[in-house]
Amino acid sequence: MLHAVTKTYRYVALAVVAILAVCAACTRSKDDVSTGDSSTTTASTPAGSGGGGGEAGPGDFGTLKGVCGPAPSGEKNSTPDTQGVTADSIKVGAISDPGFAGRPGLNQELFDASTVFTKWCNDAGGINGRKLDLTLRDAALTEYKQRITESCAEDFALVGGGAVFDDTGQLERLQCMEPAIPAYVVTSQARGADLQVQPLPNALDSISDAAMVYVKKKFPDSIDHVGYMTGNVPATVTVDKQNQEAGKQLGFKNVYQAQYNAAGETSWTPFAQAIQSKGVEGLAWTGEPENLDLLLKALADIGYQLKWVTAAANHYDQRLIDLGGSAVKNVFIQSAFVPFFDASKNPPTQQYLDLFKKYDPKGKAQALLALQSWSAWLLFATSAKKCGADLTRKCMYDNAKSVSDWTGGGIHAKTDPKSNDATECTTMLEATSTGFEVPKDFKTTDGFFACDPKYVAHLTGNYGKGTTLADAGKTLADLK
């Protein structure tokens, strides 16, 4: 059982690593994330509305106006020959893994965010007057394909979810021509799958290297002594290899690479000693906070201090601080989202938290996957709304696929769902023994974020292949 639980955690961690919300293992409750000190940020507040007052309407969110609401006056919705759509409702599914017995509540925040969004949207009037009829589809880790099959028989689309073993049902989803706007995707088959739009792209041929770019500038003498570590799970190994290619493009010299046991290590001292013997000065880490803490403690025990560690957004987690204590130093985390500790400075983030307080006060609001789910639901709703009275899968999908400038109403950096490239915008968080903060030398260019093409590494390696419509014997012409 320990092996199964630990393996699951690594897979979830992968998704965050790869999409900057980064996504997996960021399954943290609101009590797990540091609230921090808003005085530590150096970023300015972007324009936006919602949550902080003003004249926002009931269906407005942040910079997005009229996301949800009644049908325009005098307009009557049609009853199209489209699965899951009536004149009064839209049946939508959200998938996640909270029923996994090995770790109950796994990614529950995806269901929480989907529920809160649906209640808020329906209270505002639905999408052009059509109320959202949400079905929460629990894959419980091993039943993803079954849930996809059920959704194929009932739902208009899959929105705002994600599951660990998302390679097992992509073919079935494409065979039934069901579009998806997921919160996150994990495996190569899902990351490159057709008929889906990712609000925070997690592609196979590009990856954000913002943290690497940052540490190269901050510690230029360290790049000749770089190490890479990940758990021995295929999905995270893929991300580690992508990081190694990105590092090579930046001129990093790889002097050490290792995979730790996904079932757990009896001692981290051998890894610490190997890092020391190889003279590693900077470490690109792919994994989860708990294991990073164990490594940092082992390094501290032998008196060896790394100049830097880079980690994905799932490490924005109070457990990193609580468990690591004084061993947590020089850990740099890239993220595409406005930090929760800056919600008071960013009205859309505050509005998101306020909606959770209203509709699900015990829900996992302060979890990065929940924010990703929220962005997915906003992209779905705005795309479906543009279809007006004649809502079809093709219309919704085409609208979503055409979006090239997306911020989820102001809760995250600008992304390009149309191209599916990694975002060029990021914020940087530094983890210390006392908490998280934005480094004082991290200069922003766009509100809370710094945007630069150099923050995306375009990759040439073979990192797998997505499931295509052709694999399912279909084409886009089959989408109605």
330 and 219 housed in the same domain: yes
193 and 329 housed in the same domain: no
CATH number at residue 73: 3.40.50.2300
333 and 389 housed in the same domain: no
- For position 171, what pLDDT does the model report? 98
105 and 184 housed in the same domain: yes
- For position 258, what pLDDT does the model report? 97
For the record, the structure tokens of 397 come out as 């999908």
Instruction: Provide the CA 76 distance to its chain's centre, in angstroms.
Output: 37
Torsion, Cα of 120, 368, 323, 271 (10° steps)? 160
Distance of alpha carbon 124 from alpha carbon 322, whole angstroms: 41
350 and 334 housed in the same domain: no
Burial status of residue 388 (CB atoms within 10 A of its CB: 0-12, 13-18, 19 or more): middle
262 contacts 7 by C-beta, under 8 angstroms: yes
306 and 447 housed in the same domain: yes
Round to the nearest angstrom and report the end-to-end CA distance of the chain: 44
- Structurally, the chain folds into a number of domains equal to 2
Last residue of a domain, one of 384, 415, 446: 415
- Looking at residue 431, the DSSP 8-state letter turns out to be E
* Nearest Cα residue to 422 out of 250, 198, 245: 198
Beta strands 157-159; 89-96: pairing state: parallel
* Nearest Cα residue to 29 out of 110, 83, 87, 89: 110
68 contacts 124 by C-beta, under 8 angstroms: yes
> Which structural domain range is residue 348 located in?
59-205+343-415
Torsion, Cα of 25, 30, 34, 40 (10° steps)? 110
> In sequence order, what are the residues at sequence separation of 6 or more whose Cβ sits closer than 8 angstroms to the Cβ of residue 380?
92, 157, 159, 160, 181, 396, 400
Beta strands 425-432; 331-335: pairing state: antiparallel
SS3 213: helix
265 and 289 housed in the same domain: yes
**Cα dist. 394→77, 87, 157, 353, 477 in Å?**
17, 17, 11, 33, 9
454 and 330 housed in the same domain: yes
For the record, the structure tokens of 412 come out as 């995250």
Task: For residue 466, tell me if it sits in a domain.
Answer: no
Report, as ranges of residue numbers, the positions in the chain whose pLDDT lies below 70. 1-55, 262
Distance of alpha carbon 11 from alpha carbon 221, whole angstroms: 33
Task: For residue 471, tell me if it sits in a domain.
Answer: no
For the record, the structure tokens of 322 come out as 């609580």
Beta strands 425-432; 450-451: pairing state: antiparallel
263 contacts 2 by C-beta, under 8 angstroms: yes
In angstroms, what is the C-alpha Rg of the chain?
Answer: 22
Distance of alpha carbon 181 from alpha carbon 418, whole angstroms: 12
321 and 347 housed in the same domain: no
How many CB atoms within 10 Å of residue 413?
27
Task: For residue 35, tell me if it sits in a domain.
Answer: no
Distance of alpha carbon 414 from alpha carbon 201, whole angstroms: 11
- For position 55, what pLDDT does the model report? 66
160 and 211 housed in the same domain: no
Distance of alpha carbon 49 from alpha carbon 31, whole angstroms: 26
228 contacts 250 by C-beta, under 8 angstroms: no
For the record, the structure tokens of 359 come out as 């509709």
139 and 283 housed in the same domain: no
